[in-house]
A and B are shown apart, each in its own frame.
Chain A
Amino acid sequence: MSESILTAPALAQAAMSPHHAFGETLRDAFIITRREVRDSLRDWRIVAPILILTLVFPWIMNFTTRVAIDFVEEYSATIIPIRLIPFGLMIVGFFPITFSLVIALETFVGEKERNSLEPLLGAPLTDASLYLGKLMAATALPLLASYIGIAAYLAWLFYTIQYAPDWIVLVQILLLTTMEALVMVTGAVVVSTHTTSVRAANLLASFIIIPMAFLLQAESVLLFWGNYAVLWYIIAALVTVDLIFIRMGIQTFNREEILAREVDEINPKRIVLRFIDQFRVEGKFSLRWIVFQNVPRILKSNRLPMLVTLAALVAIFCLGWWYAGRYPLPEEMMQPLRVQADFASSAPGADFAFMPQINTPSIFLHNARTLFLSTVLGIASFGTGALLLLMAPIGVVGFLTAALAQAGTNPLTFLVAFILPHGIFEIPAAVIATGLGLRLGATVISGARRGENSGFIGALADWIKVFVIVVLPLLLVAAFVEANITPQIVTFFFGR
């Protein structure tokens, strides 16, 4: 060995920059992809079916198409072949990409089973390099086969019936095929990093296959219907899902979990214990610690989601206001909005009988229930549902305020009288609860934050603590004000 020991650190330094640039991440990812693609090409179990699906299946589809065309033309049903061919294109493209699922499902967990993962994890690679490398490797070969299959199908069609597709439909089919392959691969890689055996990964694959089957059916209906414009929305939705899955994959990629976990199991006892631990300090439950130390820390560390929520509310309020200018209400609908000084006394019964019966408990329960349910919705929608649910009424308030201004009512007086008194308490409570709900939903795709080991359970515990100790008391005060003080203020401003 002629190597001097001094060359080792020099090599390492040369290979490393203080911040691993994106280019370097891609370079490393390509090294992994290249190796894996070569490996796949050496495996006849992958190559043979892909070849059959790429070359034989388009020929069969071409034959079927011609028979179908001949048959329907006997009855002058020319619309059917026009719609059948794009459908055939989609199917010919889809079949080879199903192999991407097989390759992707075993990327990490397969390597773990073969014990080849640890040396790879020990190499100086970023998580993103590893993840992207595997992602591209699983996608490249099936997608290439898919494009070749589509090209072969079109070539046969052109040769036999001189058919050339509309280029927009062709682009749509190619994009759909690519995005579907990516959705399957990104989903499968997430599965692969969170299971302990290829068998378990295959079992979980139904969570990918079944939605894809539904999607394919929907696309088929659209293609036969001929409403190709809707396909763009599906492409956009698939791109969104791809991005979410890629982010989820990188964020939840955890070398430790991949290597250390030996069995897939649900351990309710452990989950409950971990949850209970979130309410303990030094092994003991302490309300004092939660109220005076833990909750302030949670609020401080969740400033970002709360600021995002606040910014979204301001934005939607402005959007509502802008909409009122762009789409003003018809004149006949403006009259009721002309809130004048005699509003209160001219209202039926002068006691706001037109409004629903309001009292402190009903308002409190309504608001608490809404924020609770919006958080549940947020969990299922990666946090976005909670935010959207809160944005909707604020958008309406923005619209209404602008409409009032158009009707001649001072919007500031309206806001000060109707919203501000209880809003001082209610809006912060909603922002805090929604901000934490946003984070809770986000942990579903981002996993545990760096340095944390609690992830979703920690976020859930944080949400409960803040909801009980901060949000509910604020809502209670807001409900009392709304039931008892706001009407007085409204009367003060608008009554006689």
Chain B
Amino acid sequence: MDALIHAENLTKRFERHTAVANLNLQVHQGEVLAFLGPNGAGKTTTVRMLTSILRPTTGRASVAGYDVVRDARRVRAMVGHLTEFPGLYLRMNARDYLDFYGELYGMARPHRRARTDELLAQFGIADAGHRRLSEFSKGMRQKVALIRAMLNSPRVLFLDEPTSAMDPHSAKQVRDAVAQLRGRGHTVFLCTHNLFEAESLADRIAMIRRGALIALGTTQELKTRFLGAPLIEIQLAKRLEQPWSAFVEDGHVQEFGERYLRYRTETPQSTNPRLIHKLNAAGAEIVTVSETPQSLEQVYLKLVEEA
């Protein structure tokens, strides 16, 4: 797969403060990457470098094949960027505002009008198109900013906290839009503090702290790497005659009682059926077999606290 975002030792220093240090990252076409990190970790600076607003101090990066320094204007034309704050011109109405940005992106008038209609309808604010932005709620402003970012059908979309000011329904609309974009082959770089959103939308997660990338992988990979193998729990209806060690290796057992067992396995697909078969053969009455949920939040907190 082609990397649409490619960062190589990307570093940004302000005076003597290093905001981003030697960031190496590749994001492929049609991929959603969630970029997580505490406040001040370097997320916004990274996005600003990748959208050719800030120049890297050292290292290099390309977006959609264009160098972020050499081809800065091409990069800006290729990407959509939802900034941390909507930053709208509040005396304008939504349609005029979007038309202004469409024109700046070189879109022909019929095309930008059609696109504006389409996106306003998709986000459920078509009726408010002629109202002044100052009359919009926070969530509606956020939607307009998102539409601005999507207006030019960017190959790569950078979203900084896209649902931060939204009610659950609006947030779902945004998540659906992101999923739809991924389905069409767009690449989405999602900065968020909403770990549920990250887990549900992202193909991979990148975590950054104090400017350095501290983790990168799929949600499952990160959970396995940082929280250990999945924790399985078996509940029995009545006490087992034989000890648990007769059924499962000691090294895997985390906790047990007379009628329950918790164990870890990196190969649940093979370990679990084998164990259940043995228990059935021994006449055990199994009530439930379940995986104890491990959240991305646990991974995040563990990494941030450890680092």
Q: With A39-B89, A118-B87 known to touch, is A124 a contact of B48 (CB < 8 Å)?
A: no
Main secondary structure of the interface of B (DSSP, over half): loop
Considering only residues 133-169 of chain B, those with a C-beta below 8 Å from chain A are 145, 148, 152-155
Residue A266 at the chain B interface, CB threshold 8 Å = no
Q: With A11-B105, A116-B89 known to touch, is A35 a contact of B83 (CB < 8 Å)?
A: no
Q: Tell whether, in the assembled complex, residue B105 and residue A121 are in contact, meaning their CB atoms are under 8 Å apart.
A: no
Residue A449 at the chain B interface, CB threshold 8 Å = no
Report A-chain residues with C-beta under 8 Å of the C-beta of B83.
115, 118-119, 122
Considering only residues 88-108 of chain B, those with a C-beta below 8 Å from chain A are 88-89, 91-92, 100-101, 103-107
Segment with Cβ contacts to A, from B32-40, B71-79, B273-281: B71-79
Residue B86 at the chain A interface, CB threshold 8 Å = yes
- When C-beta atoms are compared, the residue in chain A nearest to B64 turns out to be A9
Q: Tell whether, in the assembled complex, residue A125 and residue B104 are in contact, meaning their CB atoms are under 8 Å apart.
A: yes
Report B-chain residues with C-beta under 8 Å of the C-beta of A355.
none
Report A-chain residues with C-beta under 8 Å of the C-beta of B105.
11, 15, 123-124
Per-position binary interface string of chain A over residues 100-140, scored 1 when its CB falls under 8 Å from any chain B CB and 0 otherwise: 00000000000000111111011111100000000000000
Compute how far the CA of A35 lies from the CA of B88 in the bound complex, rounded to whole angstroms. Answer: 13
Q: With A125-B104, A259-B53 known to touch, is A8 a contact of B87 (CB < 8 Å)?
A: no
Segment with Cβ contacts to A, from B178-186, B231-239, B257-265, B298-306: B178-186
Compute how far the CA of A103 lies from the CA of B226 in the bound complex, rounded to whole angstroms. Answer: 55
Q: Tell whether, in the assembled complex, residue B104 and residue A31 are in contact, meaning their CB atoms are under 8 Å apart.
A: yes
Compute how far the CA of A43 lies from the CA of B91 in the bound complex, rounded to whole angstroms. Answer: 8
Report A-chain residues with C-beta under 8 Å of the C-beta of B186.
5
Contact count A vs B, C-beta below 8 Å: 118
Q: Tell whether, in the assembled complex, residue B101 and residue A124 are in contact, meaning their CB atoms are under 8 Å apart.
A: no
Q: How large is the interface on A (under 10, 10 to 19, 20 to 34, 35 or more residues)?
A: 35 or more
Report the minimal beta-carbon distance from A193 to chain B, rounded to whole angstroms: 15
Compute how far the CA of A39 lies from the CA of B143 in the bound complex, rounded to whole angstroms. Answer: 22
Q: Tell whether, in the assembled complex, residue B91 and residue A42 are in contact, meaning their CB atoms are under 8 Å apart.
A: yes
Compute how far the CA of A121 lies from the CA of B101 in the bound complex, rounded to whole angstroms. Answer: 12
Considering only residues 212-242 of chain B, those with a C-beta below 8 Å from chain A are none
Q: Tell whether, in the assembled complex, residue A121 and residue B53 are in contact, meaning their CB atoms are under 8 Å apart.
A: yes
Residue A162 at the chain B interface, CB threshold 8 Å = no
Q: Tell whether, in the assembled complex, residue B152 and residue A8 are in contact, meaning their CB atoms are under 8 Å apart.
A: yes
Q: Tell whether, in the assembled complex, residue A256 and residue B184 are in contact, meaning their CB atoms are under 8 Å apart.
A: no
Size of B's binding interface in residues, CB under 8 A: 47
Residue A462 at the chain B interface, CB threshold 8 Å = no
Residue in A1, A117, A124 whose beta carbon sits within 8 Å of that of B104 in the complex: A124
Q: Tell whether, in the assembled complex, residue B100 and residue A16 are in contact, meaning their CB atoms are under 8 Å apart.
A: no
Per-position binary interface string of chain A over residues 241-263, scored 1 when its CB falls under 8 Å from any chain B CB and 0 otherwise: 00000000000000110011000
Q: With A7-B153, A9-B78 known to touch, is A114 a contact of B87 (CB < 8 Å)?
A: yes
Per-position binary interface string of chain A over residues 133-163, scored 1 when its CB falls under 8 Å from any chain B CB and 0 otherwise: 0000000000000000000000000000000
Report the minimal beta-carbon distance from B5 to chain A, rounded to whole angstroms: 15
Report B-chain residues with C-beta under 8 Å of the C-beta of A118.
53, 81, 83-85, 87
- Apart from A11-B105, A115-B84, A118-B53, 16 more pairs, CB < 8 Å: A1-B180, A1-B181, A3-B115, A5-B153, A5-B186, A8-B155, A16-B74, A35-B100, A39-B89, A116-B89, A122-B76, A123-B101, A124-B106, A256-B55, A259-B54, A260-B14
- Interface residues of B, Cβ cutoff 8 Å to A: 14-15, 48, 51-55, 64, 73-74, 76-79, 81, 83-89, 91-92, 100-101, 103-107, 115, 118-119, 122, 145, 148, 152-155, 180-181, 184-186
Can you report 13 A-B residue pairs in the complex whose CB atoms are below 8 A from each other?
A: A1-B119, A5-B155, A8-B78, A8-B153, A11-B77, A15-B77, A16-B77, A39-B91, A116-B89, A118-B81, A122-B53, A123-B104, A259-B48
